[in-house]
Amino acid sequence: MSRVKLHIVGLSTGQTSGSYTLILGEENSSRKLPIVIGSFEAQAIAIEIEKIVPFRPMTHDLFLNFSKSFDIQIHEVVIYSLNEGVFHAKMICEHNGEIREIDARTSDSIALAVRFKCPIYTYEDIMDAAGVVFNEDLNEALEETAKPTPAAPKAKEEGKEYTRMTLEQLQSMLSNALGVEDYVTAAKIRDEIQRREK
């Protein structure tokens, strides 16, 4: 069965409260694989993609640090099954030359894949069953809403609030948000800071 290499396109808010849709794209193809994940896992993926450094290690960072301390490497993540709408994944790991497969939730596997900088794969039959092909207009809309951020799309009033602040105020707010581990707010503030620096 042929494997398909995937990359993270982005995250968008899900249709139900507290859920997000992780969009994985097939390399050299317009097919996308949308996977519904929880807010904690979405935040864990987004924090690593956006290179936000929390004051204390989060769970997936702890796993990375633990693995490196004991010379355990994750070589790849494979989404190997789709059963009743639920994706199943495994991590291919190595320790002292021995290869092991560890079953894990897809969202956790991908949160670790971005930290270990390892590739993500699935199989052709899963892409056939759950993959989506977007036309150009939908693809542009997806890219706009699927920014790798744990926050919901910015509300108009909230966006205006940040635009009225000075860069120094934003930097102070960012430090405070990181201090209380409010990574959703931190991501929004950092987006505004980066917008001004372009």
Nearest-angstrom CA–CA distance, 94 and 64: 13
Task: Assign residue 51 the CATH number of its domain.
Answer: 3.10.690.10
If one counts the domains in the chain, the total is: 2
**High-pLDDT (> 90) share of the chain, %:** 47
Instruction: Return the bridge partners of 3, or none.
Output: 123
Domain that holds residue 68: 3-153
Helix (H, G, I), strand (E, B) or coil at 113: helix
What pLDDT is stored for residue 87 in this prediction?
Answer: 96
Q: 88 and 114 in one domain?
A: yes
Strands (E) located in 96-166: 98-105, 120-123, 132-133
CB distance 165 to 176 below 8 Å: no
Q: Is the pLDDT of residue 150 over 60?
A: no
Residue 109 and residue 163 share a domain: no
How does residue 198 score in pLDDT terms, banded at 50, 70 and 90? low
What pLDDT score was predicted for residue 106? 97
Q: Find out whether 32 and 142 touch, Cβ atoms under 8 Å.
A: yes
CA atoms of 145 and 158, how far apart (whole Å): 16
pLDDT digits 0-9 by tens, 75-98: 999 999 999 889 999 999 999 999
What Cα–Cα distance (Å) separates residue 155 from each residue in 33, 44, 144, 188? 27, 22, 14, 11
In this prediction, residues 23-40 reach a mean pLDDT of 91
The whole-chain average pLDDT of the chain stands at 83
Shared-domain flag, residues 137 and 188: no
* Residues 127, 43 share a domain: yes
Cα separation, 64 vs 73, in Å, equals: 9
